[in-house]
Amino acid sequence: MAAKKKKTTPAVENGARLPAEAIPEVSAYLDVQEQLMALRVDNPDVFRQFDDLVEQHNTALEAAEKVVRLKGISCGPFDNYSTKINNDADKMYEELGEELFLQCGGSVSKKTVYAVDKNRVEAAIASGKIPQECLAEFQTTARTYHIPKKIIL
């Protein structure tokens, strides 16, 4: 039995790779990053102590948050500012059965869901079956980036 050939969608090109100097905001970011690293190198004792305190702070924060959430309370800077009850309609239907579910505020509705076979759409575009001028109405490009992490104090 022959292996099935995997269908592939034509790749969309990623944006151009420019040097950092070409974009003023990227260049400014790299300048600030360099200043931060120099400050860290020039003050190793201060930053070692700072790093230790940040780690202790974050550990204590996570532990305190876990407890106040578990207890459902407000305490100190941890403010339970909103509480709501959600009813899972699917589970309620399963638990009560259709008749009681409907009597107690449930409803059943049908929903149309449209789906697209990406390979067939690409083929239809390539063949001209879908006019180029229509693409702006329903086709978008999503880009995913690896970016430096923010510094959070």
DSSP 133: G
Amino acid at the residue 137: E
Q: What is the pTM of this model?
A: 0.59
Question: How much is the pLDDT for 145?
Answer: 87
Confidence of residue 51 (pLDDT cuts 50, 70, 90): very high
pLDDT in tens, 91-104: 999 999 999 999 99
Asked if the model's pLDDT at residue 121 lies above 90, the reply is yes
Domain boundaries, the chain: 23-81+112-138
Output the 3-class SS for 43-94: CHHHHHHHHHHHHHHHHHHHHHHHHHHHHCCCECCECCCCCCCCCCHHHHHH
Question: How much is the pLDDT for 4?
Answer: 59
Find the DSSP H helices in 104-153.
118-127, 135-138
